[in-house]
Structure formats: C-alpha cells, structure tokens
C-alpha cells in the first residue's frame, strides 16, 4: 500500500481521462467546429496496466490510434447502444491487433454487445468478424470486468430511451461519473430522480454529463432524453463535485457558442470551488 487503503499499483500513475469524442447524435464537421471537434461519444481512462473506454462513438477511431503502440488491456463499457455510441467500433484499430486483449462490457444488457459487434458483418461494414485478430471477451458483470484494474464501479439508470446507464468509477481515492444521454428533468415520470442523481454524483472529482441543450431548446426538445447546460450546472452544485465537464454537445453547437456557454456559467461554479470544463475532442485531464 502506498497510502491508507490504496493499493500501490493504483498510486504509481494518476489516471488520465481523455475525451476522444464529445458530440451527440451524429458527427459534425466544418470550420465553426474545428476547436471542439466533431466526433461522437468516447472517453478513455488510462491506468498503468489497463485502459477503460466509455462508449464507442466515432471518437473511438482516434482513441484506437492512440493505443497502437500500447500493450495495455482494454475494457470497453457501453452506456447504451444508440448509433452515436457504437458507430466507431468497427474502426477501432486494436480489434485487428493480434495478442491484444479487449473486454466488452454491457452490464445486464447482453444484446447491446450483439448490436456493437454485429456491425462487422460484411454488409454494413466491408469485413466480417473473422478478420478480428484480438482476443475478445464479453461480460455483463461490470465489477467482474473491472476487477483486474482495481476500479470499483457503480451504475445508475438514465432518463433516456434505450435503457441507458451511467457509471461512477472509483480509482484509488479519485472518482469520476460518466452520465451521458440523460434528461435530468424529463416531462414524463423520471426513471431516476434529480435527487438520486445528486446522491450518485456526490463529491465526485469529475462529473461528465450530457449538456446537449440550452434553455431555449425547451419545451420543443423536452422528452428527447438530454439535459440543458443549466440543469447540469445545478446538478454539479447539488452534488458538490470538484469539476464538471459539459459533454455530448449538439452537432449544431459551434465553438463560439460553447465558449459563451462556459463563460456564462463559470463564475457561478467558481464561487463554490467547482471547475467548469467544456469537453472537446482530444482534451486530456488528470483525474
Ligand atoms: Zn442516446
């Protein structure tokens, strides 16, 4: 042990969190999105011997490139199988690396893995699963899949179609929450209440949350399964997290609009000691 209750192999390397895809719904491109990027959901958590990847949106292509000369085992955890969270999977280069160990995890939802891997069928993608060279394992048991990493995890149902899940990962003494595709205040009865989300996120070092909309998008987009930036700020305050990252940006939201959004909320958070981050493709943080 390198400190009280923390195994040495966790302490040797501070976990890093890299956003490889931060858009929601569909990839986007164009000069007005150049700074924030246009790839869909993919977040990589790097440990000494393992890499945990959250979602396989189009951002996973570049995540895979970053791992090309890296022998760490990979554990890919899905939040849900909507298109923007699985579309990049066939382009994940480690799938085609001999000797690479990859575990795919869909807690309680084995059919998600069929939807993920089933894309590589020679019809929707040029080659079939026979071309995969890695050692691929499948799991519906989050604890079991993450046990070799030393991470302890919990999950929560999101307010979103497709039976989505959010995750809290505790790595040594640090913790992060990944809550994407989640409508904090849906018009219909919520699967999970705001109070339950605040409890789930309480005291986290990093909260990554879907902030696809702004207040002007309501009421037209109420019930579409996403949150406004203001709702995410309120959750960060209620949960007293240390840092909150706005994530899953609408494909039409420009770099300028994201900057304005951050500027308008930053002061309110800073007086409570909470750092605001706008997640952008390629951004790395130390947890
Ligand atoms: Zn979704």
pLDDT tens-digit series, residues 108-132:
899 999 999 999 999 999 999 999 9
Q: How far apart are CA 33 and CA 80, in angstroms?
A: 25
Q: In this model, does residue 260 exceed pLDDT 50?
A: yes
Are 150 and 172 in contact by the 8 Å Cβ rule? The answer is yes
For 102, the enclosing helix (H) or strand (E) is: strand 101-105
Distance 263 CA to ligand 1 centre (A): 27
- In the reported structure, the alpha carbon of residue 80 is separated from the centroid of ligand 1 by a whole-number distance in angstroms of 7
Q: Is the CB of residue 103 less than 8 Å from the CB of residue 77?
A: no
The alpha carbon of 269 and the centre of ligand 1 are apart by a number of angstroms equal to 27
pLDDT of residue 53: 98
Rounded to the nearest angstrom, the distance between the alpha carbon of 162 and the centre of ligand 1 is: 7
Bigger pLDDT: 108 vs 72 = 72
Centre of ligand 1 from the C-alpha of residue 181, in Å: 5
Whether 92 contacts 100, CB under 8 Å:
no
Residue 45 has pLDDT above 80, yes or no: yes
pLDDT of residue 34: 97
Q: Average of pLDDT values for 258-278?
A: 95
Q: What is the pTM of this model?
A: 0.94
Q: Pick from 67, 31, 36, 62: which is nearest to 51 by CA?
A: 67
Cα(84) to ligand 1 centroid in Å equals 7
The CA distance from 215 to 99, in Å, is: 49
CA 141 to centroid of ligand 1, rounded, Å:
22
CA 2–ligand 1 middle distance (angstroms): 40
Taking the centre of ligand 1 as the mean of its atom positions, its distance from the CA of residue 82, in whole angstroms, is 5
Average pLDDT, the chain: 94
What confidence category does residue 5 fall into, taking pLDDT thresholds of 50, 70 and 90?
Answer: very low
**Ligand 1: centre distance to CA 159 (Å):** 10
User: Sign of the CA dihedral 243, 248, 253, 254?
Assistant: positive
> Does residue 183 carry a pLDDT above 50?
yes
27-43 pLDDT, tens digit per residue, is: 999 999 999 999 999 99
Question: DSSP letter at 6?
Answer: B
Parse the chain into domains and list their residue ranges.
8-278
Ligand 1 centroid – CA 119 distance (Å): 17
Q: Using the mean position of ligand 1's atoms as its centre, give its distance from the Cα of residue 200 in Å.
A: 20
Find the 73 Cα to ligand 1 centroid distance in Å. Answer: 27
Ligand 1 mean position, distance from CA 71 (Å): 31
The answer to whether the CB of 15 falls within 8 A of the CB of 39 is no
pLDDT for res 13? 60
- CA–CA dist 165, 186 (Å, integer): 16
Contact between residue 120 and residue 91 where contact means Cβ atoms under 8 Å apart: no
- Give the distance (Å) from ligand 1 centre to CA of residue 163: 9
d(CA 10, CA 206): 18
User: 153: which 2 tokens?
Assistant: 């995890």
pLDDT for the residue numbered 116:
95
**Ligand 1 centroid – CA 98 distance (Å):** 32
pLDDT higher than threshold 50 for residue 196? yes
In this model, does residue 182 exceed pLDDT 60? Answer: yes
d(CA 156, CA 160): 12
Alpha helix (H) residue ranges in 38-191: 60-66, 83-86, 110-117, 142-146
How far apart are the C-alpha atoms of 41 and 28, rounded to whole Å?
A: 12
Residues 167 and 169: their CA atoms lie apart, in Å, by: 6
pLDDT bucket at 4, cuts 50 / 70 / 90: very low
pLDDT classification of 11: cutoffs 50, 70, 90: very low
**Residues 220-236, mean pLDDT to the nearest whole number:** 96
- Look at domain 8-278 and name its CATH class: alpha beta
């Amino acid at each position: 042990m390198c400190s009280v209750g923390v195994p040495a192999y966790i302490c040797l390397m501070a976990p890093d969190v890299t956003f490889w895809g931060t858009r929601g719904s569909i990839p986007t491109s164009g000069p007005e999105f150049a700074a924030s990027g246009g790839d869909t959901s993919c977040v990589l958590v790097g440990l000494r011997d393992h890499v945990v990847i959250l979602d396989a949106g189009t951002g996973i292509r570049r995540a895979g490139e970053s791992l090309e000369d890296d022998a760490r085992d990979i554990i890919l955890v899905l939040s849900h199988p909507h298109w923007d969270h699985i579309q990049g999977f066939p382009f994940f280069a480690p799938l085609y690396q001999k000797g690479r160990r990859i575990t795919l995890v869909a807690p309680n939802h084995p059919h998600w893995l069929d939807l993920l891997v089933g894309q590589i069928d020679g019809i929707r993608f040029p080659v079939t699963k026979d071309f995969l060279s890695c050692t691929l394992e499948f799991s519906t048991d989050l604890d079991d899949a993450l046990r070799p990493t030393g991470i302890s995890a919990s999950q929560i149902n999101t307010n979103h179609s497709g039976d989505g899940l959010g995750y809290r990962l505790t790595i040594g003494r640090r913790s992060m929450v990944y809550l994407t595709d989640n409508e904090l205040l849906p018009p219909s009865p919520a699967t999970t209440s705001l109070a339950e989300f605040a409890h789930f996120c309480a005291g986290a070092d990093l909260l990554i949350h879907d902030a696809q909309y702004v207040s002007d998008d309501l009421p037209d987009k109420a019930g579409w399964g996403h949150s406004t930036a203001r709702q995410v700020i309120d959750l960060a305050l209620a949960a007293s997290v240390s840092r909150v990252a706005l994530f899953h940006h609408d494909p039409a939201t420009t770099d300028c609009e994201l900057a304005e959004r951050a500027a308008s909320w930053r002061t309110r958070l800073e007086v409570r000691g909470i750092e605001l981050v706008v997640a952008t493709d390629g951004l790395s943080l130390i947890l």
